[in-house]
Amino acid sequence: MSGMLRVVLGDQLSRSLSALDGLDPAQDTVLLMEVMGECEYVPHHPQKITLVLSAMRHFSAALAARGVAVRHVRLDDPDNTGTLTSEVLRAVAALQPQGVVATEPGEYRVAQAMAGWEAALGLPVEIRADDRFLCSLPWFRQWAGGRKQLRMEFFYREMRRATGLLMEADQPAGGQWNFDAENRQRLPKGVTPPKPPQFTPDAITAEVMALVASRFGGNFGRLEGFNWPVTAAAAETALADFITHRLPLFGDYQDAMAEGQDTLFHALLSTSLNLGLLLPAQVCEAAEAAWREGRAPLNAVEGFIRQILGWREYVRGLYWLKMPGYAALNALGASRPLPAMYWGAPTSMACMRAAIGQTERLAYAHHIQRLMVTGNFALLAGVAPEAINRWYLAVYADAFEWVELPNTHGMAIWADGGIMASKPYAASGAYINRMGDHCRGCQHDVKAATGPKACPFNFLYWDFMARHAESFAGNPRMAMPLNTLRKMDPARVAAMRAEAAGFLAELS
C-alpha cells in the first residue's frame, strides 16, 4: 500500500468527515473497527451496541460500493485484538501505509489513546478537526475566555448571529431570542402524538442483533423492538417525518410527560446526529425552512434549533474546555450508590417506573424524563456522580461522553457547582405533577410530604435543601426555596428529613 490509512470511528459515519477529505480510492484504505474495548467500557444497552455496529457496517458497505478499499474489523473476527489502538497497529503492519489520517474523537479517553499513535506506529499521524459541528473548539475557547459565567443562552445568541439561523438582519426572528416560556404545556386529554416511523431491521442489522444478543444479552435493556435509523438515507427519512408530523407541536409539549406516551412530539434524531448520519446544519436548516414556509410555528422551531445550535454545541465546547478535571467534580459531595431501580428493580414511584421502563425497552427517554425524573431523583438522593454518569452513558442509544457528561454532571446533578447551570434543577413532586399525569396512577400522594403515602420527591426535596442550605445561601436563585425552608415549622422539617433518611436507607 502506498497511500494513507484513514480511520473512521463508530460515531463518525459521515461522508463529509474530515478524515476522508482528499481520499484517493486508488491508494488509500479506510479502517473501521468494532472492538470489545468500546463495547464494554460501560455496560451499554444492547440496542445502543446494535445501533453503532449496524451503522458502521452499513457505512462500510456504502464506501465499498463507491470503490473505496475498506478494512472493517468485525467484533467476531477471531483476530480482533479488542482495542482501537491495537487494531490500528495491526492494520499498519498488514497494509504498510505512508501514514494515518483521523478525525479528532468525541471522547477524551479516545483522544488520549490517539495521542500515542504516532509514537507507537513510527508513522506520521494527522488528526484533523471535526468540522461537522457548527462551533469549532477554538471558537468556543475564545468565546469562553475571560468569562466568569459560561451560560448557554449567551453562547446560543452568538451562534444565531454567526450562522444566521432564525435571524432577520441582525435581530432574532419574532423579536426575541428564546420562546421557552411558550413551551411548557402539559399534553391535553385527547391529543394523541403521531407514531414515529418504523425502520425494520434489514439483514445487516439482524446479523448484528444476533451477535449482540449472544455477547451482551445480560446487559440492561431489551433488544427486541429495535427501531433506529442505521443509514444516512433512513436518518433523512426520520428527519422529514419529524418536520412534517411532530415539529409543529414539538414546542408546546417538549417538556410534557404522559403515561403510555414514549415519544410524544420529540424528534428522535439525536442518535443520527451523534453517529454522523445527519449533520447539525442540515437538521437546523430543515427546521428553519419549515417555519419560513409556514409549516411550523416559531416557538416550536426556535425551541428545537436551540437544542442543537445551543445545547448540543455548547456541551461539546464545555466538555473539551473543562476535561479531564470536569469528570471528577463533585460539588455537593454526593456518594450514594446507584439505586437498584435504575437497573429495573421494582419501584412504587410511577414516574420513575415509566422513565426507567421506557429506557429499558427503547434505549430512549426524552430530556425532561432524564433531567427532572431520573436526574432529579439522583440529585436529591445524593447519588455519586460517577455512578449516575455511567448509567446515563450505558443505557441511552444517543449517549457519548462529550454530550452525556456535561448534561448529567452540570444540569441533572449539579456536580460541577454551577459551571453550566445557575442553580440546581431540584424539584419536588409538584413539578412532575404539573408537567405530566404519572401522579394520577401512583400509589404515592403527590401533595403529601410525610406519612405512609408521601411522595418521595417531596421529602427528598426538602431534605436536599436542608442538607445544602449553607452552601446555597449565596445563590440568589435559591433564595425562594431557602426562605420557605426557614419559615417552616422545625418539627415538620425534622419529620420530612426522617422520612428521607428512612426511605434512602431502605433504598440502599
Length of the chain: 508
pLDDT at 508: 74
Query: Which set of grid coordinates corresponds to residue 346?
Result: 421494582
- pLDDT at position 1 is 67
Cell (9 digits) for 107: 471522547
Res 368 pLDDT > 90: yes
CA of 141: how far to CAs of 91, 104, 335, in Å?
35, 16, 32
* Residue 277 φ/ψ, nearest 5 degrees: -70, -30
- Going from the C-alpha of 385 to that of each of 42, 333, 408, 423, the distances in angstroms are 15, 9, 8, 17
pLDDT at position 494 is: 97
**Bridge-partner residues for 445, per DSSP?**
454
Q: What is the pTM of this model?
A: 0.96
Pairwise CA distance, residues 61 & 51, whole Å: 15
Spatial contact of 287 and 301, defined as CB atoms under 8 Å apart: yes
Q: What is the mean pLDDT of residues 224-230?
A: 97
Percent of the chain with pLDDT over 90: 97
Count other Cβ atoms within 10 Å, centred on residue 5: 26
Strand spans (E) along 41-170: 69-73, 99-103, 125-128, 167-168
Asked if 456 contacts 503 with a C-beta cutoff of 8 angstroms, the reply is yes
Q: What is the mean pLDDT of residues 429-449?
A: 96
Check if the beta carbon of residue 10 is closer than 8 Å to that of residue 110: no
Q: What is the pLDDT of residue 182?
A: 85
Q: For residue range 369-399, what is the model confidence (pLDDT) as tens digits?
A: 999 999 999 999 999 999 999 999 999 999 9
CATH number for 4-128 (one of 3.30.360.10, 3.40.50.2300, 3.30.70.100, 3.40.50.620): it is 3.40.50.620
Q: What is the mean pLDDT of the chain?
A: 97
Please determine, for residue 184, whether its predicted confidence score (pLDDT) is greater than 90.
Answer: no
SS3 at position 130: coil
C-alpha angle 256/257/262, rounded to 5°?
120
**CA atoms of 189 and 36, how far apart (whole Å):** 47
| pLDDT tens profile 311-344 | 999 999 999 999 999 999 999 999 999 999 999 9
Closest CA to 159 of 320, 281, 290: 281
User: How would you write 441-457 as a 3-class SS string?
Assistant: HCCCECCCCCCCCECHH
Residue 274, amino acid: N
Helices assigned H by DSSP within 313-349: 313-322
Give phi and psi for 106, each to the nearest 5. -85, -15
Q: Does residue 69 register a pLDDT over 90?
A: yes
Q: What tens digit of pLDDT does each residue of 390-426 get?
A: 999 999 999 999 999 999 999 999 999 999 999 999 9
- Helices and strands in the chain, H and E counts: 24, 7
Tell me the pLDDT band of 67, cut-offs 50, 70 and 90.
Answer: very high
pLDDT digits (tens, 9 = 90+) for 453-486: 999 999 999 999 999 999 999 999 999 999 999 9
Domain layout of the chain by residue ranges: 4-128, 137-196+246-322, 340-507
Distances in Å between the Cα of 400 and the Cα atoms of 73, 107, 221, 305, 508 are 21, 7, 17, 20, 28
pLDDT value for 214: 98
Could you please report the per-residue DSSP string of 387-401?
Answer: HHHHHHHHH-TT--H
Query: For 383, phi and psi rounded to 5 degrees?
Result: -70, 140
pLDDT of residue 507: 86
Q: Which CATH number fits domain 340-507: 3.40.190.10, 1.20.950.20, 2.60.40.10, 1.10.579.10?
A: 1.10.579.10
C-alpha distances in angstroms, 493 versus 383, 425, 458?
A: 22, 21, 11
Q: For residues 145 and 287, give the distance between their C-alpha atoms in angstroms, rounded to a whole number.
A: 31
The CATH architecture annotation of domain 137-196+246-322 reads Alpha Horseshoe (1.25)
In this prediction, residue 442 carries a pLDDT of 97
As a whole number, mean pLDDT of residues 230-257 equals: 97
In this structure, how many other beta carbons lie within 10 angstroms of the beta carbon of residue 116? 11
Q: What is the dihedral of CA 163, 279, 28, 86, to 10 degrees?
A: 110
Contacts of 85 (CB under 8 A, 6+ apart): 113, 116, 117, 120
Reply yes or no on whether the pLDDT at 181 is more than 90: no
Q: Does residue 9 register a pLDDT over 70? A: yes
The answer to whether the beta carbons of residues 91 and 80 sit under 8 Å apart is no
Contact 282, 159 (CB under 8 A): no
N-to-C CA span, the chain: 58
Q: Check residue 75 and report its DSSP letter.
A: T
CA 312 to chain CA centroid, Å, is 9
Closest CA to 399 of 149, 159, 100, 43: 43
